Structure formats: C-alpha cells, structure tokens
Structure 1
Amino acid sequence: MSLEIFLLLTTSYQLQTSHNTLTKERDQLQTSYNNQTEERDQLLAIINKYRTCPQDWKKSGCSCYYISPDKKTWDESRKDCQARGATLVIINSREEQALIKAFNKKAWFGLTDIEVEGTWRWVDGTPLTTSYWKKGEPNDMQGEDCALVEDTLKDSVVAWNDMPCNHTNSWICERQVC
C-alpha cells in the first residue's frame, strides 16, 4: 500500500509541477498578448492620424495639401514641407493641376531644373512628363530653376512659371494619406 501512496504522491507532485509550469507559461503568454495588443493599438492610432489631414490642410482624394500663408525660398519651402512629413506638391494629373490652381495662390511646387538646366525633375527625382507651363515658359530669364504655380488665366490649368529659387513665395506641400 505504501508503494501505491508513493506513486500517487509522485504523480500528484508531477501534475502539480506541470500545472504550475503551464500556469506560468499562460501568464507569460497573456502578458505578451497584452503588450502586443497595446502596441497594435498605438500603431493604429498613428496610422489613423495620418489618414486624416492635419488642421489647416485641405484633403482631396488620397492627398492632404498645405497652402502656406508665409513666403520662403524654394529650398526653405521644401525643407518646411519635409518638416511637416510631406513634400512640395508633385502634380500627377490634370485634375491635380486644376486643384492646385484653384487654391488661387502664387506658390512654389516640387519641380526644378537646378541640377541640369532644361531637365525638369520632381522633388522625388522623377522626370517631368506632362507640364502646364504658361506660354513662353520656362525661359530661364534670370537663372530661373524653380517652378511656381500662378493664379493667372482663370479659365485655364496652364499656370506654371520658372522663377529664381532664391525669390520668396508661398508654397504647397502634399502628404499622401492612403
């Protein structure tokens, strides 16, 4: 009978040890799950923050646009956009050009030929393929290497002019949100 008791006690001890180990593992998994859930919620909050436009920005489609009330050089404007988590606007379509022009603001956007005269590139490095230059532009009249949208010719999307990059103008930033 004592052997049976010994075996029962040994089995009971082993079961209790297994139970304690499993309980500890379960608690560790629960803690890990809680931490991952909290991290997921924080990441979702960040994502949702960027799906909506910040105050004073205008939303259109998958983009938010910031139209500066201030004036800076083209390079200062580009840096300001970068500090806002955006870029100087890259105009990808006739609709976007019409939208930018509808802001009725003389403003820098993300196009320059500062690296190679006459070779216009967007701030992301892609070459210009479709343009909306005003008649006679770009003309590099005074060493003009940066692009500006103007609010002239109200019934036309044609509104680009090249200007010296060190002139000060308003600017338009763009941030993708989807």
Structure 2
Amino acid sequence: MSADIYATPDVSKKVRYNRNVQEDKEEWEEREVEIYEATDAIGDDHTDNQPHGGGPHTERHPPALQRRPFRAAALCLAVLCFLMITGIIILSAYYYLVTLEKDQLQTRYDQLSSNYSQIQRKVSEKWCPDGWKRSGCSCYFKSEKTKSWFESREYCQQRGADLVVINNEEEQKFVTELGKDGESWIGLLDEQRNGEWKWVDGLPLTETFWASGLPHGDGYIYAATCCDQQGKWTQRRKYEPKKWICEK
C-alpha cells in the first residue's frame, strides 16, 4: 500500500480530459465568432454599439428583428407615394373632364343664343307691322306727315296703338334716334292747363327729359314733343302741326 502512495501518479487521463474540454471550448468560441461576424456584416450600426469581445455571455440581437421597422417604414412610404400619385392622376382626370364639359356647355350655350336671336328676329319681323320698328317689347311708328296732337293720337289709336310713352332712359334714346329729323308728338299732355303733365295711359311722370326751362304754363293746353337738337323734350300748343310717334 505504501508503494502505491509513493508511486508516480497517472495523469494521462486527466490531461486528456482537460485537453478535450479545452478543444471543445475553443471550437465553440470559434463558431460563435463566425456567427457574430456574419451578423456584423449585415448591420454594422448595431454591432458598433455592442461591447466587443464576443464572449459567450455578450448580448446579441438577431439582425432580422432590427430590419423589420425599416422595412415597415419603407412599405408605408411606398404606399403613401402610391396614394399620392393615384390622387394626382384622379384630380388631373377630373379637371380634364370638368374643362371638357365646360367647353361643351359653352358651345351649346352659344348655339342656343344664336338660335334664340334668329327666332327673336323672325318673331319681331312677324310681330311688328310693316313700317314699324321694334325695341324691347314694343313696336314704334314714326310718321312722315304732320298733324295736331289730337289728330296724331287718333291715327295711332285707329291702329291699336297710342302716342309713345317714354318710361326710361333706354327708351328715350331709342325715341330720340327715331325722331332725329325733327320734333314729333309724344303721349304727354297738360290738359288741365295747371302744369300737371300726364301720359296718355294716365300715369304721372316718373322720369323726365325736359329741355332747360321747361315745362311752363300760360293758360294754353300744351303737349310734349321729342326731341330738340339736344335730344330733350319741348312743349308745343296741341294744335300745331307736327309729326308723331306711335307705340304698341
């Protein structure tokens, strides 16, 4: 037994065991290094923030988890761009259609306006008797002969009309142009000799175009004529011979 105590110990098995453990550990570390080197090649930004050493307890994150947010952001951006482009295309198409429809409506309106003018001209020609001129909704006749105011009015009434009643400035301009060759009787009379002028339809004056200083009264019955050289009304004794203007 004492011989066994002092005998040289056999450490070959232990050495072999330690060597095997050491070799397995180195091989495992080499594999781990290779894995993390591949990871570093995919995402350098992430690995720069991690501690170096590559030990078995060093915290690492798989690169796929890090790339998912970037892929999602890129996908959202692509969808947003697609929607924007689609919206621009739709708006452009809508604008084109609206412009086209507007042009078509304008063309149609021009055609209708032209047709209306033609119809209106034809109706006017048939509406007003021969020798009468149309303005607005009325027909006007300018005589070439002369008569007293009452005789002139009788002539108009026999043709379903009366001496012209001037209601506004537009009609005043038309009558002035119609009677530019001299004064003509119009349907305005001071029959009561009191300065109360009335139209033949019984209405009082609302707008007047008298010449300067008119009207005036001196006991005679006056009637109005249109127009003097300035396109204004004058007053004449109703028995004077003048041309006349009828309206119906």
TM-score, normalised to structure 2's length? 0.47
Instruction: Compare the two structures and name the one with the higher helix fraction.
Output: 2
**Structure with higher strand content:** 1
SS in 1 for 2:209: coil
Specify the alignment match of 1:95 in structure 2.
170
SS of the counterpart of 2:144?
coil
Structure-2 residue corresponding to 1:140: 217
Q: Normalising by the residue count of structure 1, what TM-score does the alignment of the two structures yield?
A: 0.65
2:199 is equivalent to residue 122 of structure 1? yes
Give the structure 1 partner of residue 188 of structure 2.
111
Q: Percent of aligned positions with the same letter in both sequences?
A: 41
Contact 2:191 2:222 in 1 (8 A): yes
Alignment root-mean-square deviation, CA:
2.0
Amino acid at match of 1:163: R
Q: 1:108: how far off? A: 0.2
Measure the CA separation in 2 of the matches of 1:141 and 1:117.
9
Q: Tell me, in whole angstroms, the C-alpha distance in 1 between the residues paired with 2:195 and 2:224.
A: 12
Aligned residues: 124
How far the C-alpha of 1:143 sits from its partner, in A, is: 2.3
Q: Which amino acid is the alignment partner of residue 223 of structure 2?
A: C
The 1:51/1:123 distance shift into structure 2, 3 A limit, reads farther
Letter in 2 for 1:97: Q
* Aligned pairs for 1:1-178 within 5 A: 52-103=127-178, 104=180, 105-140=182-217, 143-153=220-230, 157=231, 159-175=232-248
Q: Which amino acid aligns with 2:174?
A: L
Which is further off, 125-134 or 144-153?
Answer: 144-153
Secondary structure of the structure 2 residue equivalent to 1:76:
helix
Comparing 144-153 and 89-98, the one that deviates more: 144-153
Q: Measure how far apart 1:151 and its partner are.
A: 3.7
Change in Cα spacing, 1:102 to 1:50, as seen in structure 2 (3 Å) is closer
1:12-51 Cα distance to aligned partner (Å, 9 max, x none): xxxxxxxxxxxxxxxxxxxxxxxxxxxxxxxxxxxx8996
Query: In structure 1, how many angstroms separate the alpha carbons of the residues matched to 2:229 and 2:221?
Result: 19
Give the C-alpha shift of residue 106 in structure 1.
Answer: 1.1
Check conservation: 2:193, 2:219, Cα contact below 8 A: no
| Cα distance in 1, alignment partners of residues 125 and 188 from structure 2 | 25
Change (3 A) 1:162 1:142: farther
Write the letter of the residue equivalent to 1:161. Answer: T
Q: Which has the higher contact order (CA 8 A, sep 6+)?
A: 1
**Which 4+ stretches in 1 moved above 4 angstroms?**
48-51
C-alpha deviations, 1:48-87, integer Å up to 9, x for none? 8996111111111111000010100000011100001101
Cα distance, 1:141 vs structure 2: 5.5
Q: Can you list the C-alpha shifts for 1:130-149, whole angstroms capped at 9, x where unaligned?
A: 10000011123682510011
Query: Contact 2:146/2:243 (CA < 8 Å) preserved in 1?
Result: yes
Alpha-carbon distance in structure 2 between the residues aligned to 1:114 and 1:144: 6
Distance 1:116 1:51 in 2: 41
- For the Cα contact (< 8 Å) 1:107–1:150, is it kept in 2? yes
